Chain A
Amino acid sequence: MVELAQNLIDGLGRGSIYALLALGVAVVFGVMHLLNFAHGELITVSGYAAFWAITNGWSWWLVVPLIIVVAVLTSLVIERLAFSRVRGASQFTLLLTSFGVHFVVSAIFLLYVSASVKNFARPAWTTQSTWALGPLQIETFDTVVIVVTILTLIGTNLLLQRTMFGLALRAAAADFDTARLMGVRSDTVIRGAFALSGLLAGIAGVFWLMRAGSTTPSAGIDPMLKGVLAALIGGLGSLRGAVLGGFALGLAEVLLRSWLPGSIAGLTEGFVFALIALLFIFRPQGFVSVAHAERV
Chain B
Amino acid sequence: MLSRTADHLYWMARYTERAENTVRMLDVSYRMSMLPGVNGDGHADWRAILDISELSDAYARTGRPLSPRDVIEFVLLDRDNLSSVWNCLRAARENAHAVRGKLTSEMWETTNTTWLEIRDLTPVRLQDMDLGAFFEWVKFRSHLLRGVTVGTMFHDDAFQFARLGTFLERADNTARLLDVKYHALMPAGEDVHNATDYYRWGSLLRSVSAFETYRQVYRDVITPHKVAELLMLNDAMPRSLHACLDEIVDILGQVANSRSCETTRKAGALHASLHYGSMDDIFAVGLHESLEKFLACINKLGDRISNDFLMPVATP
Judge: A and B partners, yes or no.
no
